[in-house]
Amino acid sequence: MNSKNLKFKKTFIILAFITIGGVSAQKISDNKFGKGMINFIAKDSSYSVKFAPRIQTRYQSQWDYNEGSYDDPEYNFLVRRARLKFDGFAFSPKLIYKIELGLSNRDISGASVYNRNTPRYILDAVIKWKFYQNFELWAGQTKLPGNIERVISSGNLQLIDRSLLNSKFNIDRDIGVQLRHKSKLGGKWVSREKISISQGEGRNITQGNIGGLQYTARFELLPFGIFKSKGDYSQSDLVREKSIKTMLGITYDHNNNAVKTRSNMGSYMTQSNGGLFETDINTLFIDGIVKYNGFSVMGEYAKRRAGTIEDLEQDNKTKTGAVVGVGSAINVQGSYLFNNNIEMTIRYTNIDFDNITRLSDLRQLTYGISKYVVGHKLKIQADLSFSRANENKDYVLFRTGFDLHF
């Protein structure tokens, strides 16, 4: 048995004991489905623990376009996400923590010399301190305050997965500190300000900091007040807002001396001597959400620029072949939730890469249907996407699956 498998088995055994211990301490629970499998508060109220597993499975078929016709489809069954989530407070209700572990192949892939060639189990490991009025200080690894589609949990999506804009431009998770604040501006107007300083190379990196730091700032404006049930961070209008609710957001991210092709995402820009090419990468997001009485609309714009687009060897002349994915993108999606909790959704995504990148411009139109059994906690979904690359037909993709979140 190798050391990696041994470590994984030890981790699994520890988690099993925690779960069994929680069940033994609370054999009969009045918790409702979707509120966490185990909820425990210490007798002296000095800490709390909530445990909630998540499962997302998927089937998909893809027809690639080739020489005037579509090829025979390729089929794929997979567990897209299998996660364990722990959260609660420690010492004081003002000190909150969150731990989320990923166990699926997509969650743990990405082993490299920069994380000691180990699986990337940790998604979130962060503490949040409400230290003064409406101020919060976050420390640890978690999502950066990037585009709204990325910050929305994968369990709260109205389509099978996020858009191409998100996959090509998002800034995902990183380790560092964040300062967050909420302001009441008068009437129903509310604003939220978020500032982050992070390592700049993504999650689960142990051999850093290689380039510079990453600086992120986001401003959100809610002119008609707070959404019900945090609906601005959940797709679909499941609560059927009785009046129009809107959130408008803007994010600017600067990754100083970035060493990856997509800021803190993508592949490392390696040189033939084993070194890494560095360049400043700036990313802008403008987005918004509107909800009213079962209708939901979300729009996003992304733009990325870099000091140097084509990566160079140490002589600053020879090209390595790698390029920074600079360009712009838009994503718009709208939906309506019927009274039987069936929702119809349509999404359009347009990616325009700068010509020098030699990357294909992308267009995708997606039609989706969802049946919410218990909101986002138990749902069945399907969608059909038609994709084009450089104005030519590329592929047709059909996906269906279910979500189960305790």
24 and 74, same domain (yes or no): no
Residue 10: pLDDT over 80: no
Q: Give pLDDT, residue 138.
A: 98
Q: Which of 3-17, 23-37, 217-231, 265-279 has the highest mean pLDDT?
A: 217-231
Does one domain contain both 40 and 1? no
Residue 5 is part of which domain span? 1-30
User: Given a cut of 50, is residue 23 above it in pLDDT?
Assistant: no
Indicate whether 6 and 83 sit together in one domain: no
Mean pLDDT, the chain, as a whole number? 92
pTM: 0.91
Q: Write out pLDDT tens, residues 231-246.
A: 999 999 999 999 999 9
Give the torsion through C-alpha atoms of 20, 402, 126, 132, to 10 deg. -110
Mean pLDDT over 70-90 rounds to 95
Same domain, 157 and 11: no
Residues 46 and 100 reside in one and the same domain: yes
Question: Number of folded domains in the chain?
Answer: 2
Q: Which CATH number fits the domain that encloses residue 186?
A: 2.40.160.10
Please report the pLDDT score of residue 121 as a whole number. Answer: 96
Asked whether residue 144 falls in the same domain as residue 163, the answer is yes
pLDDT at 58: 96
Tens of pLDDT, residue by residue over 294-315, are 999 999 999 999 999 998 998 8
How many Å apart are CA 303 and CA 70, to the nearest integer? 32
Considering the chain, what percentage of its residues have pLDDT values greater than 90? 83
Indicate whether 105 and 24 sit together in one domain.
Answer: no
Query: Could you tell me the pLDDT band of residue 5, with boundaries at 50, 70 and 90?
Result: low
Average pLDDT over residues 398-406: 96
With beta carbons less than 8 A apart as the criterion, state whether 314 and 273 touch: yes
Q: Does one domain contain both 129 and 10?
A: no
Question: Per-residue pLDDT for 11 more than 60?
Answer: no
| Lowest pLDDT segment from 9-23, 57-71, 126-140, 183-197 | 9-23
Q: Are residues 7 and 45 part of one domain? A: no
Residue 10 shares a structural domain with residue 48: no
Output the CA–CA distances (angstroms, integers) from residue 211 to 199, 282, 318, in the order listed: 9, 14, 21
pLDDT digits (tens, 9 = 90+) for 170-225: 999 999 999 999 999 989 999 999 999 999 999 999 887 888 999 999 999 999 99
Are 17 and 165 in the same domain?
no
Q: Is 4 found in the same domain as 110? A: no
